[in-house]
Amino acid sequence: MNAKIISNRRVSPTCWEMNLSCPEITREAKPGQFVMARIKNDVDAFLRRPFSIHDIKDPSSFYLLYKVVGKRTEAMAGLKKGDSLDILGPLGDGFTIDADLELAVFVSGGIGAAPMLFLLRSLVKGKLKPKNLYFLTGAKTKDEILCTKAAHRLGVQIFITTEDGSLGKKGMINEELDRLLEKTIKDKLDKIEKNKVSIFASGPNPLLREVSLIGEVFEVSCQISLEANMACGFGVCLGCAVKVKANHLGFKYKKVCSDGPVFDSQEIIW
């Protein structure tokens, strides 16, 4: 389907936020889902690329947050208002939001923040108290920290780490998650049933593995959004297979595009 660009603005030295008019996407999209996109009439781009649905603020348009990493995303950064993308979606299995959820912790690394804003906004609209929403985001340096202003406007609590110490605490965001669960949230965990607490994470696999281990230690459910190279987006090409646990076989493979991109972290074989 055709999605016309409303705006396309730089939000960091390497990342851009694009607003696209496409009611067909906004009517069906759920947090954690993605679209496959390519520049309309671009003869050099045979395959679409996957992009998380970053945010939805109104019924007619949605946002993508993307990082310029190559020829295709560089071309996207040059698009203007009125240009179009060829979009397929929404695709994938998104985040599961339990009706009795009372406390949520969001963990992202770098461009892994892309799917988190849509989820945050959905939970705030769902009347979950902002004081029980914690947004943790980390990156190598301050220029790579994303989405904190939007998260602040939603009223959630924000924690930032950078590896070089240029913004927030110096260190890794998984270390901040461990500290947060051990100290800041510990009293709340004692009062709230653990099945009403969830961690939602997105970012590079090493981070997701660490977050998964922390969730296991604290006995808190953890959903992770995996990143993978995708050629089709709906399970045909098998290019995004991930190894998961299977009781009778020991392991099996699932497809990030159609079975995910969101998984229970305890399901993944790291």
Instruction: Assign domain 103-225 one CATH number from 3.40.50.80, 3.30.1640.10, 3.30.930.10, 3.10.20.30.
Output: 3.40.50.80
CB contact set of 39 (below 8 Å; sequence gap of 6+):
45, 72, 75, 76, 79, 83, 85, 86
Q: Determine what percent of the chain is predicted with pLDDT higher than 70.
A: 95
Confirm or deny that 222 is annotated as ligand binding.
Answer: no
pLDDT value, residue 46:
63
198: helix, strand or coil = strand
For residue 144, what is the DSSP state? G
Alpha helices in the chain (DSSP H): 23-28, 71-77, 116-125, 148-153, 173-179, 186-191, 205-217
Q: What is the pLDDT of residue 260?
A: 87
- In DSSP terms, which residues pair with 18 in a beta bridge? 8, 64
pLDDT, residue 205, reads 94
257 is in an annotated binding site: yes
Task: Write down the domain spans for the chain.
Answer: 2-91, 103-225, 228-270
Checking if the pLDDT of 118 tops 80, the result is: yes
Q: Helix, strand, or coil here: 128?
A: coil
Give the right CATH number for 2-91 from 3.10.20.30, 2.40.50.100, 2.40.30.10, 1.10.3720.10: 2.40.30.10
**21 confidence band (pLDDT: 50, 70, 90):** very high
Read off the pLDDT of each residue in 17-30 and give the average, rounded to a whole number. 97
pTM above 0.85, yes or no: yes
pLDDT tens for each residue of 163-181: 999 999 999 999 999 999 8
Q: Which of 135, 116, 136, 124 is nearest to 52 (CA)?
A: 116
β-strand 103-109 against 133-139: which pairing, if any?
parallel
Stretch 152-169: mean pLDDT, rounded? 96
Class of the CATH-defined domain 228-270 = mainly beta
Q: Is 51 annotated as a binding residue?
A: yes
- Residue 47: pLDDT band by 50, 70, 90 thresholds? confident
Q: How many CB atoms lie within 10 A of CB 164?
A: 10
pLDDT of residue 16: 98
pLDDT digits over 180-232, tens only?
A: 988 766 677 667 777 889 999 999 999 999 999 999 999 999 999 998 877 77
Is 49 assigned a ligand-binding role in the annotation?
yes
The rounded distance, in Å, linking the Cα atoms of 261 and 240 is 10
